[in-house]
Amino acid sequence: AQSVTQLDSQVPVFEEAPVELRCNYSSSVSVYLFWYVQYPNQGLQLLLKYLSGSTLVESINGFEAEFNKSQTSFHLRKPSVHISDTAEYFCAVSDRLSGGYQKVTFGTGTKLQVIP
């Protein structure tokens, strides 16, 4: 069985400061990893994903995440946050299997609050 842990339920950070949102996972097989963002009163949007290849993946709005197999982590980082980054961020994992249905398990979310 797979699981995802987001230890920080809320992260306050000042505008233009760097931020790291932590995500750890567990699985008995290889995985795909995702970060989703949920802005207020909206659904979740896929921010970035790791499938294979380079362990560092980037989004179009300046976020990046690094897959660390030995640490079983997929932390999300941004060097300088903006007010518009205020949202809830969800880490998710899916087993890398062929055929059938691969369940996606979500973490409990981290609320990023950017302070002006």
Partner 1 sequence: EAQVTQNPRYLITVTGKKLTVTCSQNMNHEYMSWYRQDPGLGLRQIYYSMNVEVTDKGDVPEGYKVSRKEKRNFPLILESPSPNQTSLYFCASSLSTGAGGYTFGSGTRLTVV
Site residue total, partner 1 (CB under 8 A): 26
- Give me the sign of the Cα torsion angle 67, 70, 72, 78: negative
Answer yes or no whether residue 2 interacts with partner 1 by CB under 8 A: no
Report which of 94, 90, 110, 86 is spatially closest to residue 37, judged by C-alpha positions: 90
Answer yes or no whether residue 67 interacts with partner 1 by CB under 8 A: no
CB of 52 or CB of 116, closer to partner 1: 52
Q: Pull the structure tokens for residue 18.
A: 């760097």
What does the alpha-carbon distance between residue 28 and residue 69 come to, in Å, rounded to a whole number? 12
What does the alpha-carbon distance between residue 94 and residue 46 come to, in Å, rounded to a whole number? 14
Answer yes or no whether residue 109 interacts with partner 1 by CB under 8 A: yes
Integer CA distances (angstroms), 4 to 1, 34, 50, 84, 85, in order: 10, 11, 15, 26, 22
Considering only residues 15, 64, 66, 95, which one is a binding residue for partner 1 as defined by CB under 8 A? 95
Output the smallest distance, CB 108 to partner 1, in A. 4
Considering only residues 2, 44, 75, 113, which one is a binding residue for partner 1 as defined by CB under 8 A? 44
Answer yes or no whether residue 55 interacts with partner 1 by CB under 8 A: no
Answer yes or no whether residue 3 interacts with partner 1 by CB under 8 A: no
Residues of this chain that interact with partner 1 (CB under 8 A) are: 9, 32, 34, 36, 41-46, 49, 51, 90, 94-97, 100-104, 106-109
